[in-house]
């Protein structure tokens, strides 16, 4: 980790083109029951994609369980105790968030993947990472489960980068169609982290108005229902790209939710599969322009199984 301790000296030359995939079978064991869009099938459909990438020489590693110290940088002790207790006493934590016997293990693997991704990239062992994990995390606040999310994996990863590795500027770009309210809550007063979210509005969870600016480190791009490829790409180029480049992050983390796809049942945004390949290429170009490693992408939403598989494939292939 020595290269990352001294900010601005990350050497990615040796790891160029080396993409790391992180997943774990435990993530399929979190099951909120029949009829839930956030189902184990979401990872099952990605298995052949990961297998193909492995055959082409990309490394796939097993996600470790996140340690409690990393979780405590984001979540309250009382909330972590509540989550841990669900392994013995499963319960409904929120209107649409259920934790069963295996959910605590699954969410620890998901957050562990995110932390391992940061370690791998900052050690120069990978140039970019895709974490195929669930449950998602970006709605989870420091003290509450929300919207299918238990631990806020991307927030835990960002705090690991700042507090453990000593990075001074970390950017999180969230392109899930829902606003990452939990991530925003965590970093609203933390200038070391820029949070940039594009999301349909109005839509669950109801937050994410452009007037929500944190301490100047929050950028909310509200998309109207029906936003298509052309409009999304225009807003990315005019609003998101300059914000990302202007912040000069030393690390780029991505909450990669694929539910803005036109086939997704949970939104009315109309992105195409190709847009995710385009977006991935844009994010790699940002990292290249800034001479930083990454991006590190974590799976968030995406609920049409066919569109999810195609979109993740397009995102990784790019
Ligand atoms: Zn979503």
**pLDDT, tens digit, for every residue of 191-243?**
999 999 999 999 999 999 999 999 999 999 999 999 999 999 999 999 999 99
pLDDT of 4 above 60: no
pLDDT of 107 above 60: yes
Distance 104 CA to ligand 1 centre (A): 21
Please, which pLDDT band fits residue 282 given cuts at 50, 70 and 90?
very high
Distance 57 CA to ligand 1 centre (A): 31
Can you give the pTM of this predicted structure? 0.94
Distance 302 CA to ligand 1 centre (A): 7
Sorted by where each begins, the domain ranges of the chain are 2-317
Cite the active site residues.
Answer: 139
DSSP string, 196-240: EEEEESS-TT----TT--TTTTEEEEEEPTT-BHHHHHHHIIIII
**What's the pLDDT tens digit per position in 56-89?**
999 999 999 999 999 999 999 999 999 999 999 9
pLDDT of 9 above 80: no
What's the CATH number for 2-317? 3.40.800.20
- Tell me which long-range contacts 259-263 makes (C-beta under 8 A, separation of at least 24): 259/176, 259/177, 259/178, 259/301, 259/302, 259/303, 260/175, 260/176, 260/177, 260/198, 260/200, 260/223, 260/227, 260/232, 261/302, 261/304, 261/307, 261/308, 261/311, 262/307, 263/304, 263/306, 263/307
Distance 268 CA to ligand 1 centre (A): 12
pLDDT of 250 above 80: yes
pLDDT of 15 above 50: no
Please, which pLDDT band fits residue 2 given cuts at 50, 70 and 90?
very low
pLDDT of residue 18: 85
């Amino acid at each position: 980790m020595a290269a990352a301790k001294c900010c601005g000296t990350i050497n990615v030359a040796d790891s160029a083109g080396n993409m790391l995939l992180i997943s774990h079978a435990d993530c399929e064991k979190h099951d909120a029951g029949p009829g839930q869009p956030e189902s184990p099938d979401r990872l099952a459909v990605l298995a052949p994609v990961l297998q193909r990438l492995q055959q082409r020489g990309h490394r796939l590693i097993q996600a470790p369980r996140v340690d409690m110290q990393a979780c405590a940088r984001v979540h309250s002790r009382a909330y972590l105790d509540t989550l841990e207790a669900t392994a013995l006493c499963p319960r409904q934590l929120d209107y649409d968030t259920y934790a069963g016997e295996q959910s605590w293990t699954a969410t620890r693997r998901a957050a562990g993947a995110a932390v391992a991704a940061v370690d791998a990239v900052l050690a120069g062992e990978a140039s970019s990472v895709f974490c195929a994990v669930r449950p998602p995390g970006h709605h989870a606040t420091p003290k509450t489960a929300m919207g299918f999310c238990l631990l806020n994996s991307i927030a835990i990863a960002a705090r690991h980068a700042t507090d453990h590795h000593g990075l001074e500027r970390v950017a999180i770009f969230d392109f899930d169609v829902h606003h990452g309210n939990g991530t925003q809550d965590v970093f609203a007063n933390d200038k070391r982290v820029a949070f940039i979210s594009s999301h349909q509005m109005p839509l669950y969870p109801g937050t994410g108005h452009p007037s929500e600016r944190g301490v100047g480190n929050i950028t909310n791009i509200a998309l109207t229902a029906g936003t298509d490829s052309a409009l999304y790409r225009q807003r990315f180029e005019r609003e998101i790209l300059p914000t990302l480049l202007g912040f000069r992050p030393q690390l780029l983390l991505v909450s990669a939710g694929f539910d803005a796809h036109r086939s997704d049942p949970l939104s009315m945004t109309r992105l195409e599969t190709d847009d995710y390949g385009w977006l991935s290429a844009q994010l790699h170009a940002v990292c290249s322009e800034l001479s930083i490693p990454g991006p590190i992408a974590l799976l968030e939403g995406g609920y049409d199984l066919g569109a999810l598989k195609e979109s993740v494939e397009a995102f990784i292939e790019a």
